[in-house]
Amino acid sequence: MPKIVDADDRRELVADAVFRVMQERGMAQASLRNVAAEAGLALGSVRHYFENQAELMEFAFRVNSERIHLRALDKLVELEETELPTEPADLLEKCAGVLEELLPLDAASSADAVVHMEFLLDARTNSLLFDAAQDGYRATGAVVGRVVLQLLENPLAVPGLVPVDEAERLMGLLDGLSLRMVLQPAWAPPAQGQSTLRRHLLSLLVS
């Protein structure tokens, strides 16, 4: 019998090849031909699943964004479904655990962050990636906003904080940390990023 190929699995395999090319050689080198070679496929096989370069890159961008956010969502569901700690240090750890999934703290998340930044920069002038970028921003905002609500609705929170304002501040912090950790790892190692995130979250709680 001929081997049955799952189309979704094959498309993700090609997306993984896109990511490897981008990590090693940059987005400009992620052509259909280079990606096919990286995936170990014939160029015609890649074109069977993606009509053109634009379709491939949008799909890969969405896969990259989804993987980043799913890691955080798994932790977020756990946070929301369990009774929150009454000690500031414990509450901080629970919330930081969710947000850390959005930071490049290990080899896998760092690779994802590099690719994500390349896509975001290209989406600034590439209208074909604009919608995917906006969906990614909304997904990040949803995760951060839900964590902020968990913090500010807790009796340990500093009174009078505005959820939208704090979510914006926190998103800015996460963006800045990610950028520094990817571009300047010697100055911003994972431990430093984790410490900075925790200091910020601690400032939202009554000391």
Residue 89: predicted pLDDT: 84
Task: Assess whether pLDDT exceeds 90 at residue 207.
Answer: no
Domains contained in the chain, CATH given: 1-50 (1.10.10), 62-202 (1.10.357.10)
Using one digit for the tens of pLDDT, what is the confidence trace for 114-155?
999 999 999 999 999 999 999 999 999 999 999 999 999 889
* DSSP calls for the chain: -PPPPPHHHHHHHHHHHHHHHHHHH-GGG--HHHHHHHHT--HHHHHHH-SSHHHHHHHHHHHHHHHHHHHHHHHHHHHHHSPPPSSHHHHHHHHHHHHGGGS--SHHHHHHHHHHHHHHHHHTT-HHHHHHHHHHHHHHHHHHHHHHHHHHTSTTBPTT--HHHHHHHHHHHHHHHHHHHHH-TTTS-HHHHHHHHHHHHHTTB--
Residue 1: predicted pLDDT: 42
Exposed e or buried b per residue across 159-196, where buried means at least 16 C-beta atoms within 10 angstroms of its C-beta? eeeeeeebbebbbebbeebbebbbeeeeebebeebbeb
Average pLDDT across the chain, whole number: 93
Residue 85: predicted pLDDT: 72
CA pair distance 96, 143, nearest whole angstrom: 12
Using one digit for the tens of pLDDT, what is the confidence trace for 37-71?
999 999 999 999 999 999 999 999 999 999 999 99
- Show Cβ contacts of residue 63 under 8 Å, excluding neighbours closer than 6 positions: 12, 15
Mean pLDDT of 22-42: 95
Task: Assess whether pLDDT exceeds 50 at residue 111.
Answer: yes
Q: How confident is the model at residue 5 (pLDDT cuts 50, 70, 90)?
A: low
CA pair distance 166, 172, nearest whole angstrom: 10
Residue 81: predicted pLDDT: 87
Say which residue the tokens 């799913």 belong to: 70
Q: How confident is the model at residue 83 (pLDDT cuts 50, 70, 90)?
A: confident
